[in-house]
Structure 1
């Protein structure tokens, strides 16, 4: 936004809202803009993560079709990443205490 656009918006805002309400309106606008920006960043991160998961899934399918042998470096990297993730989950599950239900009769 250039200097002259800012001046026009300030003049129109002063006329429409009045000089008393203009500062609070600007604060609300900037707060809404920040919230919207954070929401867009979160959505973008979620979409990127979903695309990454989809790519890993597709690479795993390709690797399975090739019989998990003679894989390209990209496919091997995806398989290794998924294998490490699975090992991490198994390790976490084996280390966590299991709550067993008690029969109180």
Structure 2
């Protein structure tokens, strides 16, 4: 982390021993270690909170995408269902009223109708 070698630690220990003395050196080492541990814990908690926020953001994006996709799927399904319902209504209407369709007279029928009409006029 700090890239401190053995000789640097030995030099810091000797200077600490000379400055603080043998009576206060263990207390000073404990308090320095507590500060270091507190700093490590804070850094780890910040790192984990950032990681959780990133995961939460990704999950929210995925959730939004899933909701959007499901809405699009429902709209497509609604269109297909409406087309099927319309087709079924049309088929049902044809089955209920098969003879209501207007049929156009064929050429033979119109010709014979004209002949019958002319014969009736001749009789008068």
Between Structure 1 and Structure 2, the one with more helix by share is: 2
Moved over 6 A (4+): none
Structure with larger RCO (C-alpha < 8 A, sep 6+): 1
How much does 1:3 deviate? 1.2
Matched, 1:3 2:42: no
**Aligned residues between the structures:** 70
Change (3 A) 1:68 1:33: farther
TM-score by length of 2: 0.48
Alignment gaps of 5+ in structure 2:
74-124
Give the CA RMSD over aligned residues. Answer: 2.1
In structure 1, runs of 5+ residues without a counterpart are: 71-105
Matched, 1:57 2:60: yes
Larger radius of gyration: 2
- Structure-2 residue corresponding to 1:43: 46
